[in-house]
Amino acid sequence: MRTRLEVIDAQRQALLDARDDGLFDARMLGSALAALDADQISLELKGGPDG
């Protein structure tokens, strides 16, 4: 599970970098970040990174 959380963190950072480069508009970025947040919350509720 820890690996999946690390992937989510990397994806989040890549999206924020793309935003900084002007590759995403606010709505698209918000949707993508919300999906990552939901995945992260789901994993954490199932037992955290060591669960």
The predicted model scores a pTM of 0.80
- The reported pLDDT for the residue numbered 24 is 83
CA nearest neighbour of 7 among 45, 50, 49, 51: 49
Q: Residue 18 in contact with residue 49, Cβ under 8 Å?
A: no
Residue 11 pLDDT > 80, yes or no?
yes
Return d(Cα 14, Cα 29) in angstroms, integer: 11
Give the tens place of pLDDT for each residue, 20-33.
999 888 888 999 99
Report the number of secondary-structure helices (H) and strands (E) in the chain: 2, 0
